[in-house]
Amino acid sequence: MPRNTPKEQTICWINGKRCLPADAKLSIFDHGVLYGDGIFEGIRFYQHKSLLLNEHLERLRLSAKGIDLDLPYSTDELAQSIENLCQHATFSAGYIRLVVTRGEGALGLNPLGCGPANVFIILAELGMMPTDAIQKGITTIIAKTRRTSPSAIDPTIKSLNYLNNILAKQEANRAGVNEAILLNDDGNVAEAVAENIFIYTTGKLITPPCSDGALNGITRSVILRLADQAGISTVIRSISESELIAADEIFLSGTGAELVPVRLVNGVTIKQCPGPIFIALQNHYTDFIRQQCH
């Protein structure tokens, strides 16, 4: 989430027009406000250039299709608007939040009659976690809140409804730790509050499948590819709670968080933090960013 960006420097764009943050407003009858009926993407930019924008816009398109929402702008139009905002930002690196809501409608749940969709973009500097926590490794708990079942809501849809994740984050706040890890209904690891999760154990880098509730993370896909290129064996499969805690290394990945090592889970110290696999992949990911946003 945004940190250390003066409000007057935060960039806002709504329905095709740039505006001051104080003027960026939606109707209280928008179904995105009333019911969380909408989709979003979080995108990074470095050196005034967006990272993996095409991949994010493709996921946005698929999310829109998944909730039967018509996008009022083409992929090219959104890309052009985002790149233009990045180029004119007063800060060279930061976070882009792209949101599409269903639009205004009646108070009932029925989406018929809603619209047109509202689209807005926010650019701000980003600080997901304290720098010292990232360097030393973050502390986590396994939340009592369970990940929403994939049979209820497709985890590949990046919707505005994040109450499940927020409840888990509140658990982490009450426990005085940096982050929470969510299990699914089967008791297997799904993801962290806003990140995918990886473990390294028995010589393999393992991450849960989307069928276990994991978001189809774009950074996750990049890490899997970089690991393969580095000769690190990768596996996508279920991870039990006991296997998680016994892992040699644990780290999180996400657009906002980038890569973050985990030091503690439920008070148990992880064997290596930051471990050699994490350090290698962090270096590869930093190089990847430089190549993409030079």
Q: How far apart are CA 135 and CA 290, in angstroms?
A: 20
Q: Output 263-269 pairs: Cβ under 8 A, ≥24 positions apart.
A: 263/136, 263/137, 263/138, 263/139, 264/137, 264/138, 264/139, 264/140, 264/177, 265/140, 265/141, 265/142, 265/181, 266/140, 266/141, 266/142
Q: How far apart are CA 294 and CA 277, in angstroms?
A: 25
Pair of tokens at residue 196: 């995918």
Decide: 244 and 250 in contact? Cβ < 8 Å: yes
Q: Examine the residue annotation and report whether 158 is marked as an active-site residue of this protein.
A: yes
Q: Which of 7, 25, 65, 158 is catalytic?
A: 158
Which one, of 241, 248, 275, lies nearest residue 259 by Cα? 275
Q: Which residues are catalytic?
A: 158
